[in-house]
Amino acid sequence: MEDFIEYALDYLDFDSLVSLSEDALAVARGEKEFVNDCGDVCIEWGHGIYLSNVPSEIDFAELRREYGKEPEPNERGEYDIEIREVLSRTESVKAGYLGEAIDELMDKYRKGEIILDADDFKGVDYIPVEKKR
């Protein structure tokens, strides 16, 4: 990476470099020469959808709703809509390690020792259901 930084400072306009993180730079504009060394780091601003590189942080259901094809009604002119409530609560568990804490809570939940109720309500989603083909 240090070789690339030296190269970039020697051959590119300093104002055209964008710092992405401690170890990453991208050429934004004004490049004097094409750089093959940094072909895996590219940014194009101004359009598109910028998603997290952590899959668990991406709301795929929301993306489907916003950009997907709208479902068709059935032969009776009805739409199937799933109503999904979100209940959530944080519990504190004393354990030797994270896996043990999760296992203990899962066991308590399955046994009915932890029951989520209306006080744990966090939201509701209305999700169109596509016909199975």
Residue 44 and residue 59 in one domain: no
Mean pLDDT of the chain: 75
| Cβ-proximal residues to 37 (8 Å cutoff; 6+ apart), any chain | 3, 4, 7
**pLDDT per residue over 59-69, tens digit each?**
877 777 777 77
- Say if pTM beats, i.e. exceeds, 0.75: no
Residue 69 and residue 23 in one domain: no
**pLDDT per residue over 71-103, tens digit each?**
888 889 999 999 999 999 999 999 999 999 999
Residue 112 and residue 60 in one domain: yes
> Tokens at residue 111, please?
């046994």
Residue 112 and residue 83 in one domain: yes
Domain extent at residue 18: 1-48
Domain count along the chain: 2
Count CA within 13 A, CB hemisphere, residue 24. Answer: 7
Residue 74 and residue 37 in one domain: no
Residue 59 and residue 40 in one domain: no
Residue 44 and residue 89 in one domain: no
Strand segments (E) across the chain: 17-21, 24-27, 81-87, 121-128
Per-residue pLDDT band at 29 (split at 50, 70, 90): very low
Residue 34 and residue 90 in one domain: no
